[in-house]
């Protein structure tokens, strides 16, 4: 089994929702800026060596919707070669992407992955915009 390493770890400053310093900043833009900063600190890392960008997000809707990880990859790395996957495990979404990245590297499916979480409570309210539960799931007793 291959060994996986965390080479760099960065996070943005914490703001105050919904009136904080980042209230007008899109989540994907903030994450892309963080990746650009990381790449500046790793000048010998060719972006084409990155196999994937994995981003956890508890509320992937509105401005945080679509495949936000792919958008972050495009904006943060400035190339189209690196895919992105957005993971929703609610509060553990970001740490789940790190665990998934480790598993892919250890199994030999990847060599280099950018993983983490991206969330803005100013963009999407705590319970989402209009969540609609499938009541058949409740009635089935699962």
- What pLDDT shows up at residue 18? 83
- What pLDDT shows up at residue 20? 86
Q: Where are the alpha helices (DSSP H) in 7-110?
A: 27-41, 68-77, 93-106
pLDDT digits (tens, 9 = 90+) for 1-12: 999 999 999 999
Query: Using an 8 Å Cβ cutoff, are 63 and 125 in contact?
Result: no
Strands (E), the chain: 52-56, 84-87, 113-117
pLDDT digits (tens, 9 = 90+) for 35-94: 999 999 999 999 999 999 999 999 999 999 999 999 999 999 999 999 999 999 999 999
- What pLDDT shows up at residue 9? 98
Of 100, 80, 75, 76, the closest CA to residue 88 belongs to: 100
- Local confidence band at 127 (pLDDT 50, 70, 90 cut-offs): confident
Kindly list the domain boundaries of the chain, sorted by start residue: 27-139
Assigned architecture for domain 27-139: 3-Layer(aba) Sandwich (3.40)
């Amino acid at each position: 089994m291959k060994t996986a390493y965390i080479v760099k770890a960065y996070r943005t400053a914490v703001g105050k929702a919904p009136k904080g310093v980042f209230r007008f900043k899109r989540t994907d833009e903030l994450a892309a800026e963080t990746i650009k900063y990381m790449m500046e600190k790793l000048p010998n890392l060719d972006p084409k060596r990155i196999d994937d960008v994995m981003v956890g997000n508890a509320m992937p809707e509105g401005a945080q919707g679509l495949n936000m990880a792919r958008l972050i990859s495009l904006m943060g790395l400035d190339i189209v070669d690196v895919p992105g996957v957005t993971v929703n495990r609610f509060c553990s979404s970001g740490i789940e992407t790190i665990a998934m990245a480790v598993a892919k590297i250890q199994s030999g499916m990847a060599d280099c992955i950018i993983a983490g979480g991206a969330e803005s409570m100013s963009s999407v309210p705590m319970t989402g915009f209009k969540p609609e539960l499938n009541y058949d799931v409740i009635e089935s007793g699962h």
